[in-house]
Amino acid sequence: MAAAAAAAGREEPPLGLEAVVEEAAAAAAASAGFRLTAVRREPAVRLQHGASGLEPLAWSEDHRVSVSTARSIAVLEQLSDVHSGGQDMVIHRTAVPAPAAACMLKVGPKKEVAECKEKFASSVDPTVSQTFMLDRVFNPEGKSLPPMRGFKYSSWSPLGCDANGRCLLAALTMDNRLSIHANLNRLQWVQLVDLTELYGERLLEAGYRLCKADTPCGELGDFPEFQRRHSMQAPVRMEWSGICTTQQVKHNNECRDVGSVLLAVLFENGNIAVWQFQLPFLGKESITSCNTIESGISSPSVLAWWEYEHNNRKMSGLIVGSAYGPVKIIPVNLKAVKGYFTLRQPVVLWQEMDQLPVHSIKCIPLYHPYQKCSCSLVVAARGPYVFWCLLLISKAGLNVHNSHVTGLHSLPIVSMTADKQNGTVYTCSSDGKVRQLIPIFTDVALKFEHQLIKLSEVFGCVRTHGIAVSPCGAYLAVITTEGMANGLHPVNKNYQVQFVTLKTFEEAAAQLLESSVQNLFRQVDLTDLVRWKILKDKHIPQFLQEALDKKIESCGSTYFWRFKLFLLRILYQSMQKTPSEVTWRPSHEDAKILISDSPGMGSTEDDQEEGTSKQASKQSLGDTGKGVDIDDTAEDSLHQSSDSGGREPMVEKLLEIQAQIEAVEMHLTREHMKRVLGEVYLHTWITENTSIPTRGVCDFLMSDDAYDDRTARVLIGHILKKMNKQTFPEHCSLCKEILPFTDRKQAVCSNGHIWLRCFLTYQSCQSLVYRRCLLHDSIARHPTPEDPEWIKRLLQGPCTFCDSPVF
């Protein structure tokens, strides 16, 4: 640890009035360079129960916000809905309920445990009886004490861990039950495994020893042994690692790469259990291994993964913080994991026992512009201060620079979050003040520029209980309750999750255009800002249109075509008339009578022509691409524009946008068809029949004379040679008639039976059960056991129009 670097990085306020004035002037000058304007984003979501636990708010990579409460985990999923014309953020709300039964840790046979509890409760030694009765780890049911319901902590896995390729949720209850949940059908959360129960069984089999060389454990009737067995399986925190690759040996001795993820669980006695799960995680059968590490940290309080990559060599470790102050990295030996190396010994980041508890730790991977190498920034909330440590590997070894940032809050930090894309850190205290810290690299280490965000200027007088930043840094979610009014505390507390913007529309659009991810679903927070702007202004800004057209011409990636489709759909929705009445409310108006049928009234050719033109225009507006719902609201907008004397321009504008949407959808469909045909050509033999309507897809691609794609023509020529004049048509399951491939969305037989087509394989879905895109753009069939691996891989893909997963 370099003392000079620590001194250079330390940011402590100097003493004296002149120094305070200089610091204020410097802060004002610094904040002018990165002025942040926080704007409130509706709606505010009211929680049914109060927030509970430390760090009650977490934002996943697939844009779901988990809120730990006293009865459940409320999950708020952010959607960038292309079918809604409302300007508010679209949120889908679900919940993970707390278990009804209390969790009892396994410390021995049930009969013996019951006898020991009765013995300790009636002990004449007050140090035993009172310690036992007041410790909720021993007595989770409470009896005379209030029940320990609710959640202590929740943690999201990386994207791509469950059966749908989304995030798993690890939940820790107040009574020490650690379980993993998955949202497989969007409406219900399912518990996949109870890790507390499994770990207790492992300890019971091992005799409550970490290894066979340990000394035999004492009798359960001894109170210290009773405490030890509880503390070695009572979780404090848990954190997920990034997805890593392991090698699995098949029956024919071939090796194949299998994705896996690690979950580290920190216990009260300082031990860390590292669970390894094979992906996709389906349950108990997906558990590969569980190893226990002794950290040597007394009174541990927080845990985080340290993952470092240097010259294509990956290193991993666990950062553990103590309630007494120390912070250090524990080596983790990842056996059978490709490309991973481990530390030789623990690395102490902060060793002083200064009684400042470590509340939260974040590790952010960055690139050092002066050293020209990767580095890791570790930040930890310690009381009202932020401890930071910069780690980088050079020829001399691992370099550690650390210091504290002071003068941020007058109260202890209650929550901290970080934007891992640019390294920005956000901290908040309970008085409604949020600090934004931006790391600035220097020759030796780094410094922080910080800015105060007063939530009272956005929400009014509030108290804050937790914050979380969205994956791309566009929004900040905040748990708030009412603050003091006229010097008085509120009678009732209403817990709400509120959102503020951290980026402008221009910043979000630029980030979407230059994105390395090239996936709209993984950038929902950015697309929501763009959606909000277009719905307010009712047009796409000219600079965005021109920049997007240039990207399409120069790159041609389908990502930019999907981005263009998204903009056109939002533009179409912005031009629809907002319904003045609730759509489900029945109308009490009398039925209208046609003028031509009314007695004493004649019909003219002009009236008939006008009625026909109205009907034709309405029908043409209804023939939109899949996923764009154009119904009577389009007709309402036409009537509205006709009242103002501008009906014809509005009709022409809507028809023009509709034609552009159809053209972009057709381009995306053809590109995906080429990909499907490429997979067919690579994985089939001569005259081999598959579930994919190969001949129909080829004919559909070649049916349009205006479509001249040399790559497609060459590919189709090779496939037709392979098929050797075979057609392999699809047949209707009801009448056995041939299903012609004339439409990319549906198949209609000669008897009028209609079947929707799978957008991933273009096979007709002739079953009652199928999957649907998250935004209801398209449908897809379920994989079957008869499908080969390459077709199963195709069926795992996202929506070709919006990148959303399929359920």
Span 388-406, pLDDT tens digits: 999 988 777 788 999 999 9
CB 260 within 8 A of CB 271: no
Cα 411 to Cα 324, 326, 369, 481, 777: the distances in Å are 18, 21, 34, 17, 48
For the segment 178-216, what is each residue's pLDDT rounded down to a tens digit? 999 999 888 889 999 999 999 999 999 988 888 766 767
Q: Show the tokens assigned to 66.
A: 């988990």
| Of 641, 654, 671, the residue nearest 568 (C-alpha) | 654
Query: Residue 611 pLDDT > 50, yes or no?
Result: no
| Of 195, 218, 196, the residue nearest 207 (C-alpha) | 218
Cα separation, 795 vs 805, whole angstroms: 11
Query: Residue 595 pLDDT > 60, yes or no?
Result: no
Query: Residue 606 pLDDT > 60, yes or no?
Result: no
Q: Please report the DSSP string for 337-397 in residue order.
A: BTTEEE-SS-EEEE----S--EEEEEEEEEEETTTTEEEEEEEEEETTEEEEEEEEEETTE
Cα separation, 80 vs 439, whole angstroms: 31
Which band of pLDDT confidence, cut at 50, 70 and 90, is reported for residue 474?
Answer: very high
Which band of pLDDT confidence, cut at 50, 70 and 90, is reported for residue 34?
Answer: low
Cα separation, 52 vs 432, whole angstroms: 18
Cα separation, 685 vs 444, whole angstroms: 61
Query: Residue 755 pLDDT > 90, yes or no?
Result: yes
Most confidently modeled of 80-94, 524-538, 635-649? 524-538
| Of 386, 361, 364, 362, the residue nearest 375 (C-alpha) | 364
Cα separation, 139 vs 706, whole angstroms: 75
For position 255, what pLDDT does the model report? 77
Cα 606 to Cα 331, 603, 611, 617: the distances in Å are 85, 8, 9, 16
Q: Please report the DSSP string for 624-665 in residue order.
A: --TT---SHHHHHHHHHHHHTT-HHHHHHHHHHHHHHHHHHH
CB 411 within 8 A of CB 384: yes
- Mean pLDDT score, 538-547: 94
For position 100, what pLDDT does the model report? 87
Query: Residue 340 pLDDT > 80, yes or no?
Result: no
- Mean pLDDT score, 249-272: 87
For position 533, what pLDDT does the model report? 95
Of 629 and 141, the structure prediction assigns the larger pLDDT to: 141
Helix, strand, coil content of the chain in percent (nearest 5) = 30, 30, 40
Cα separation, 618 vs 635, whole angstroms: 7
- Mean pLDDT score, 637-645: 45
Which band of pLDDT confidence, cut at 50, 70 and 90, is reported for residue 588?
Answer: low
For the segment 413-467, what is each residue's pLDDT rounded down to a tens digit? 999 999 999 999 999 999 999 999 999 998 878 999 999 999 988 999 999 999 9
Query: Residue 329 pLDDT > 90, yes or no?
Result: yes
For position 305, what pLDDT does the model report? 95
3-class DSSP state for residue 304? strand
Query: Residue 635 pLDDT > 60, yes or no?
Result: no
In one-letter notation, the amino acid at residue 473 is G
Which band of pLDDT confidence, cut at 50, 70 and 90, is reported for residue 602?
Answer: very low
- Mean pLDDT score, 593-619: 40
Which band of pLDDT confidence, cut at 50, 70 and 90, is reported for residue 337?
Answer: low
CA-only gyration radius of the chain, Å: 31
**Among all chains, which residue has been given the structure tokens 């190893």?**
291
Query: Residue 29 pLDDT > 60, yes or no?
Result: no
For position 418, what pLDDT does the model report? 97
Query: Residue 5 pLDDT > 50, yes or no?
Result: no
- Mean pLDDT score, 326-334: 89
Which band of pLDDT confidence, cut at 50, 70 and 90, is reported for residue 18?
Answer: very low
Calculate the average pLDDT of the chain.
84
Of 100 and 65, the structure prediction assigns the larger pLDDT to: 65
